[in-house]
Homo-oligomer: A and B are copies of this chain.
Amino acid sequence: MRPSGRTPDEMRPIEIITNFTKHAEGSVLVCFGDTKVLVTASVEERIPPFLRGKGEGWVTAEYSMLPRATHTRGSREAAKGKQSGRTQEIQRLIGRSLRAVTDMKKLGERQITLDCDVLQADGGTRTAAISGAWVALRLAINGLMAKGLVTEDPLTRKVAAVSCGIANGVPVLDLDYIEDSSADADANFVLIEGGHIAEVQATAEGATYDEEGLLRLLRLARIGCDRIFAAQAKAVG
């Protein structure tokens, strides 16, 4: 039995509240149980220097935890004067995941920044962020299409992410903080609707796993992402 009483392949309740804030072109509060992430998509009519003159757009992400999103207060990165390695690793992952499903030619010469700020953390903040970011991006692109700035949809596939792990020898889906702290292995899967893999990040600091273990985690991830794809579809109407 899992600490939360869930079955091994059971996700936490997923909630995606659109238009949570009013200024951003896309804005979402995404909750995986008690993990709550505010994601905004900001459209800017400029592109990074390395893309100039290519007729392409760019999608990037930034990630942060509010200092007291966690059980004990963490120091504020802006006050320390630098982002941690963990923060940079996560925001790079979010950006790559969303770029995997965006057609940059169709987006045109503009940049969309996905700001993922964790208001409350209970495990799986990066996977909630990716899953919510897709909705925020969808909303922002809907706006561009409604205004005629983008004519062909650059975002035809969904992307979602979920964590899996091996807890007490049992592969389980969507770990919360308690499970995550004691799990033997921790894997984050970023999957694309229709069966493809965008990213796998599987780590075994305590224990290790074999090919069979990896596949069992991947299969759990498919179950979880199907649940998330459904929630995303419902959120964007």
Contacts and interface: CB of A to CB of B under 8 A. Distances in A.
Contacts of A199: 202-204
A147 interface: no
A115 B62 contact: no
Given A21-B120, A120-B21, A214-B200, A115 B66 contact: yes
B205 A99 contact: yes
A220 interface: no
A89 to B, nearest CB: 5
Interface in A76-128: 76-79, 81-83, 85-89, 91-92, 96, 99-100, 113, 115, 117, 119-121
A211 B215 contact: yes
Nearest to A76: B62
Contacts of A142: none
Q: Copies of this chain, how many? A: 6
A79 B89 contact: no
A198 to B, nearest CB: 5
A215 B215 contact: yes
Interface residues of A, number: 65
Interface of A: 21-24, 27, 34, 36, 38, 40, 42, 44, 62, 64, 66-73, 76-79, 81-83, 85-89, 91-92, 96, 99-100, 113, 115, 117, 119-121, 187, 192, 195-205, 208-211, 213-215, 218
13 contacts: A21-B36, A67-B113, A73-B113, A77-B78, A88-B88, A88-B89, A89-B92, A96-B203, A100-B204, A100-B205, A187-B200, A198-B208, A211-B215
